[in-house]
Amino acid sequence: MSVTSSSTHWHHLAAEIRCVILERLLQDGCSLAGFATVSREWQTIIERHNFARIKLTPSRIADFGSVIHRNNALVRYLWLCLELEEYDCTLCASRDPETWGMSHRDNALIVTAFQDLFSTPGTWEPGGGGNSLMLDISVHSPSDSEHWFKYLTFRPSTPFDDQEEDGAQDDDQSMLAKLDDRQHGWEDGRRASAPCRQLPLVPAVTGVLLRQQTRRRWKPMALANMFSRLPELQVIHYEPWREWEKRTSTKVDGCLVHQSVFESLALSKLKRLVLFENFNQSYLPRESHRDEDLIRIPAPNVGRAVATASLKLEHLSASFMVDADDFLQARQRFWEWPNLNSLALTSQLLTPGESQVDINDMLIAAAAATMRMPKLRTMKIWNGQEGLAILFQYQTARNSRQAVITRRGT
């Protein structure tokens, strides 16, 4: 008995079987664009998959708007990957802090990439329907893994298809040709005016991810200006590398630099803030060899600024840039955290040899703060460094269960 073509039609298959076939196809790793023409059902599913996560290099920005114009509402994650110049040991071994930053050419590439991306017509209209868009920004040089950051990757946690790498390195030199661009504030490769203040508002972006894969320091004012152009920003993940020079980590931090960034967030729509300063001592610069350089001393004014910004948050995790004691001491009697359900902070008080009285005072202040957090589910105060880890955790009573306090340490 022959099987008619009508009985073998795609839509005659059970929905479960069609789903399995499409899932296997999406997991195959092959190019999917051609399969979008099979049927309207395939087109819908494949386009949703292809446009959900996009890697963008400076050379691709010019065509980005036209490529995603019809499917911009499908984009959920955009990785802006900026690759800097390579360098040699004359720079990596330099004792001059002025050479540790970015060159004028590197700065030109980054600023121009931001201007071109934010100004792309038809790209940044809100998708509607509660859609979210995470903007992941990473900056690195191929030489970083050869000189400073061995064994570390520069890619996101979720890999992209290998085929996306083809041609990604070839024509970024066009960006460097814009060193003299007075329209965008560049003269002879030097910044003559602040670029971020000139950028249009981008309401489509609801989250910004600045990962540890960026091996450069973001200037705090540049961050504040960038955040100000994102009026619907709800999520920030900021993972800077520790600034090891003592003059930077104690004085500059304490002189309103990072404070201004966090103060600017107090009036925003932010719901989730994650701050994690990498403390890996394996990457300690050779000039910083004293024991006292190993311990990060957060600036109290930064803790106060983060505390103020946290009043409207649903989730806050601040590690090493902020001390829990500074955060809690900043609390005013009239303060309330009506939406906060998760809080995680680090504290140098959780270190062997610290005053038990000071530790108790901090925990009492933490208990008082929880009384002003009606939706709180978990509070964590912890500390960690090489050879040391300690955690104090409070979980609120739920489902007729009593509150739970956990203390763990090495």
pLDDT greater at residue 391 or residue 110: 391
Q: Which of 25-34, 106-115, 246-255 is predicted with the least confidence, judged by mean pLDDT? A: 246-255
The pTM of the full predicted model, rounded to 2 decimals, is 0.78
Q: How far is CA 172 from CA 59, 61, 143, 177, 410, in A?
A: 5, 10, 17, 9, 48
pLDDT band with cut points at 50, 70 and 90 for residue 368: very high
pLDDT computed for residue 356 by the predictor = 94
pLDDT computed for residue 328 by the predictor = 97
What is the Cα–Cα distance from 97 to 81, expressed in whole angstroms?
Answer: 25
What is the Cα–Cα distance from 331 to 372, expressed in whole angstroms?
Answer: 10
pLDDT band with cut points at 50, 70 and 90 for residue 72: confident
Residues contacting 9, CB < 8 A, separation 6+: none
Average pLDDT over residues 254-278: 81
- Cα angle vertex 375, ends 302, 347, to 5°? 35
pLDDT computed for residue 251 by the predictor = 47
Give 3-11's long-range contacts (Cβ < 8 A, gap of 24+): 10/38, 10/39, 10/41
Per-residue pLDDT tens digits for 299-325: 899 999 999 999 999 999 999 989 999
pLDDT computed for residue 335 by the predictor = 96
Res 343 pLDDT > 60: yes
Average pLDDT over residues 43-49: 78
pLDDT band with cut points at 50, 70 and 90 for residue 151: very low
User: Which residue shows structure tokens 């490769």?
Assistant: 189
Q: Say whether 315 sits in a helix, a strand or coil.
A: strand
DSSP string, 42-84: HHHHHHHHHHHEEEE-GGGHHHHHHHHGGGGGG--EEEEEEE-
pLDDT computed for residue 365 by the predictor = 97
Both tokens of residue 396? Answer: 């609120």
pLDDT computed for residue 69 by the predictor = 74
> What average pLDDT does the structure give for the chain?
76
Per-residue pLDDT tens digits for 173-218: 444 444 455 544 545 545 454 555 667 888 889 999 998 877 677 7
- The two counts, helices (H) then strands (E), for the chain are 14, 13
pLDDT computed for residue 39 by the predictor = 73
pLDDT band with cut points at 50, 70 and 90 for residue 156: low
Average pLDDT over residues 327-342: 96
Percent of the chain with pLDDT over 70: 67
Res 103 pLDDT > 70: no
pLDDT band with cut points at 50, 70 and 90 for residue 408: very high
User: Which residue(s) pair with 137 in the sheet?
Assistant: 80
pLDDT greater at residue 258 or residue 374: 374
Res 256 pLDDT > 80: no
Q: Is 151 left (phi over 0), alpha (psi -120 to 50) or beta?
A: left
